[in-house]
Structure formats: structure tokens, C-alpha cells
A = this chain, B = another copy of it.
Amino acid sequence: MAGNPNGNRHQIMRPRRPLTLRDVSEASGVSEMTVSRVLRGKGDVSIATRLRVQEAAKRLGYVPNKIAGSLASSHVNLVAVIIPSLGNMVFPEVLSGISEVLATTSLQPVVGVTDYMPEKEEKVLFEMLSWRPAGVIIAGLEHSEAAQAMLARAGVPVVEIMDVDGDPIDACVGISHRRAGRQMAEAIIAAGYRRIAFLGTKMPLDHRARKRFEGFTQTLGKAGIEIVDQEFYSGGSALAKGREMTQTVLARSPDVDFLYYSNDMIGAGGLLYLLDNGVDVPGQIGLAGFNGVELLDGLSCRLATMDACRRAVGIKAAQIIAARNADPALPAGEMVELTPTLDPGDTLLRSFVA
């Protein structure tokens, strides 16, 4: 420092090899073991050594190698989160609940996306398990046999989320989509609608939408009502698709009085279409979607919907992982069924009965 006539040449050539604990050890004159203790904040280290080590680590720009650390300690702070998609607003909200909780722990979420494809789910799961995560949060209860076997053998907490209609491998947090479909059917019937159409995603891929549909038609059936028409879609902008599908259904079945959509975005598209065409909503035609997508707050007319408790699901799932991680002796198989609330918005006539 004092009087060091170092010229202003370029920085010292950096070694292109990543720094190791040993580099910090040599730079600070402290054993590797003690450096490791300082950097992890474990064990008793004198304040003096601690400072020397920290200074050296910072000066060198040392970034610990978690690969080596995890191998040595057989502890990985990663939680695998496997979801079908990031392209709609539903899973990002689950994620945000998960992140929020894990941020209070030493755990970190790692996200894998399956695009609703079982083979891809299997692949992503295998890939993630090969990093030996501390836990797995995975959407849905339907998985290939291989995937189920992997989850069962993983030896870490597994939380299946979003759905409770089925047999969980371990823990489970979600809502009953069958019940949600039934509840919506009841509300629609109570409001006096009778000629009801269903508009949804192509469903073999989306088990939750399928279960809602099943619960829905089942309850209608008990009331002696049959779906008047149905229409399915796959790709594209959901809003535009909702418009198209609605137009198609109305052309084919001009006498429908209710449209039940498998998600809010296509529902909103349908709503906009009807309003543009001067249809009396909810007098002539009522509508309902599913999810409680906050994104749509701000439409001139609020679509009836049912909240899927997405954030709450993420929070609870992460809490289970965190708790079991902190205390592996905790019992497995926790089951949490959340209760979605029906929001009639402006597109579902209020019924006279409660």
C-alpha cells in the first residue's frame, strides 16, 4: 500500500481456473478447514481469523463450490418444483408462494416445466432428482408409473399440489377440482340457467380441468340437465381463443344461456365477445371461468370465477418441505385440502335461494 509504486497497468492476469478454498487458505494463511468453517459460519473461529479469512475471500472474489460442498456433506439446499407451464398466470403465482416461504429458510426452489406432457415430466423429474434435491413439489396427482416410482424412492419429502382428488405418494396440498365443478354447477342451476355449454382446454392433458368437467356434468346430470354443447382448444392467445370458441358455440347452439369455461382467460375472451355483440350478460347469457386470475381485475365486467388458492397452495407446500427438512422425523403424508370460494362477479345471476 504505502509507497507501492505499482503502475496503472491492467489488472493482474486472472487465473482462468475457478478459485478454491485452498486459494483462500493460502491467501489468508489459515487452514482450509478453518476457512471452510468461517465461510459457512459453523464452528468456533476466533474473530481475528474470521476477519482475515473474510477479507481474503472477498478480495479474491471467491465463490464456494456447492457441488463439492453438497457431495461432501450430502446436503443439497435445492427444492425441485415441477409444474406444467409458466405461460399462464396460475403457476407463477404458486411459485411466488413457494419462493416466499423458502426465502425464510436456506432452501432454494428450482423450477422444471413439463408442458403438460407425461414423458417430459418423467424426464424433468429424473433430471432434477439426479441433483438430489431436499424435496420435491410437483403439480398434480397423475404421473407415469416410472415417475411415481422415482418419487416414492427419492427418499425426500414429496408434495403433490393443486389437486386432492387421487392417491398422493406422500404429502398433498390443493383443492378438489371435482368438488369445484360440482359447486359451480350448483350455483349455475340455482341461478336458473338450464342450457349450459362447456368451453375448455383440450383435456386429456389437463387432469384438473377434466375433473372439474366431470364434477360439473355429474351435478348437472343429477338435476336432469345435460350439457348443450362443448368446444375445446389447444394453443394460441387464450383471450382470442375464448372469443373464437364462444362465437363457434353460439353459432352452433344459439339458445345456450350459460357458458362455463375451463379457465378465466378464455372466459374473459368470451365475455368481451358477448359484450362487443351487445349480448345481455348475465341476463341472456351467464358466464363463469376458473382460477380467480387477478390479472383480469380491471375488465369492465367481472367474470364469475372460482379461486384456486394458488398462492396458498404454494405457501403450504413449501412449509411442509421446510418443516420436514428441518426435522426429518416429522410424519410423512400430510394432506391439506383448501376450500376455493366462488366469486359470482357480474356474469352469474344471483339466485334467490341461499
Interface, chain A (partner B; CB < 8 A): 14, 16-18, 61, 63-68, 70-71, 76, 86-87, 89, 92-93, 95-96, 99, 108, 110-111, 113, 126-127, 129-132, 149-150, 153-155, 237-243, 265, 269, 272, 275-276, 294-300
Contact = CB atoms under 8 A, between A and B. Distances in A.
13 contacts: A16-B155, A63-B130, A63-B154, A64-B130, A65-B132, A66-B132, A67-B70, A67-B132, A87-B93, A237-B295, A239-B295, A241-B298, A243-B298
A162 to B, nearest CB: 17
A182 B247 CA distance: 40
Contact of A92 (B66, B86, B127, B300): B86
A298 B89 CA distance: 17
B61 A298 contact: no
A212 to B, nearest CB: 22
Contacts of A89: 87
A70 B68 CA distance: 9
Contact of A298 (B64, B149, B150, B240): B240
A200 to B, nearest CB: 17
A86 B76 contact: no
Given A132-B18, A239-B298, A272-B299, A150 B61 contact: yes
Contacts of A149: 61
B297 A240 contact: yes
A71 B242 CA distance: 50
A130 B297 contact: no
Contact of A67 (B71, B87, B110, B269): B71
Contacts of A95: 86
A181 to B, nearest CB: 25
B131 A113 contact: no
A38 to B, nearest CB: 16
Contacts of A132: 18, 65-67
Nearest to A120: B103
A297 B239 contact: yes
